[in-house]
Amino acid sequence: AGCTMVLKPSEIAPLSSLVFAEILDEAGVPAGVFNLVNGDGAGVGSALSAHPDVDVVSFTGSTRAGIAVTQNAAPGVKRVSLELGGKSPNLVFADADVDVAVRQGAAHCFDNTGQSCNAPTRMLVERSAYDRAVEVAVEAAAATAVDVAGKPGDHIGPLSSQAQFDKVQGLIQTGIDEGAQLVAGGLGRPEGLEDGYFVRPTVFAGVTNDMAIAREEIFGPVLVLIPFDTEDEAVELANDTPYGLAAYLQTSDADRARRVTRQLRAGMVQLNGSNRAAGSPFGGYKQSGVGREGGRWGIEEFLEVKSVSGLDP
C-alpha cells in the first residue's frame, strides 16, 4: 500500500529497536519506509502523536502515558491503538493442582523481573487451599535467582531504571504499612547485588483487594495473595480493578471454567497454565487500552474500510 512508519522506542530501553532497524536496512527495505526516531515521550512522543502526517498511532506503555497520547492525537481525529497497564488476577480454585498452579503463577509474575503488563500479580486463592498456596509462593520466591542480565543462567535481572526501582520499593513499603503480611522478599536489594536496580522477589499474604499493592500496577516482582470463599466472590474480586488486560484461571472443573471465563472482564484469559495461541489478539478492556495487537486483529488496526459502489465489473 506504500504506507510508511515511524518507530519511537522507549528512551529507557531503545537498543532492541536499533537492532531491528539495522536488520530492516540490511534486508533491503527502501529508505524512508521504516524510520526510527529516538527521544523522550514528552518531547518526541508528543510531537509524533500530534503530527498531521501521522494517520494512526499505536502505543504500548503505561496507562498515564496512553491517556497523554490519546489527548495529543485527538485534535487530528486520528486513530489510536493502546496497549497499556494491567493488574491481572490469577484465580486458583481448590480443585486445581494447587502446587503446580501457584508455582507457575509465581514464575509468570516474577518473569522479566515483573516488568510485563500481563503479569498475574494478584493471585486469588480459594480459602481451603490458601495456606498451602502461600507456602508454595514463598518457596517459589526463594527459588527465583536474581543476577546481572548478561550472566549465563536461569535468573531475573534488574529493573529498567532508578525511577522504577524507587516506585517498587515504595509500594513494598506501602504494603507493609497497610498491614499486609510480608512472607518473602521485601525492601532492599538481594545479597551481593548492592549496585544496580535489583529487587528481591516479594510475596505478600493477608492482602485485601482495597490495598494499594492489590490495585496499583507495581511493574516489579511482587506477588499478592488474596483469599476467596465462593466462585461469585472470586469473579467479583477479579473484576474489581480499573484494568482489564489479562486474567488467569486454574480449575479442573470444565463447567466452572466456562462460567468464570465468560464473566471475567479481561481481553485475554488463559486456563490452567496454557499459552496464548499463535495469532491470537493481545489487548485489554477498561484502562488497559483500546484495540488489539497480534493476528489479523492487529493488522486491522492499521487498515481503513472503503465502500465503492457503481463500478462496472
Q: Please check whether the domain covering 89-275 is classified as CATH 3.40.309.10.
A: yes
DSSP state of 158: -
pLDDT at position 3, please?
87
- Residues in the chain with pLDDT values less than 70: 1
Class of domain 5-84+287-300: alpha beta
CB atoms near residue 20 (< 10 Å): 14
The end-to-end CA distance of the chain, in Å, is 22
Query: Is the Cα torsion angle 71, 72, 76, 81 positive or negative in sign?
Result: negative
CB atoms near residue 24 (< 10 Å): 15
Is 89-275 the same fold as 5-84+287-300? no
Instruction: Show me where the domains of the chain are located.
Output: 5-84+287-300, 89-275
pLDDT at position 202, please?
99
In this structure, the strands spanning 289-290 and 79-83 are antiparallel
CA distance 200 to 151: 18
- Mean predicted lDDT score pLDDT of the chain: 97
- C-beta of residue 128 within 8 angstroms of C-beta of residue 84: no
pLDDT at position 70, please?
97
pLDDT at position 1, please?
59
Active site positions, annotated: 83, 117
Which pLDDT tens digit goes with each residue over 229-258?
Answer: 999 999 999 999 999 999 999 999 999 999
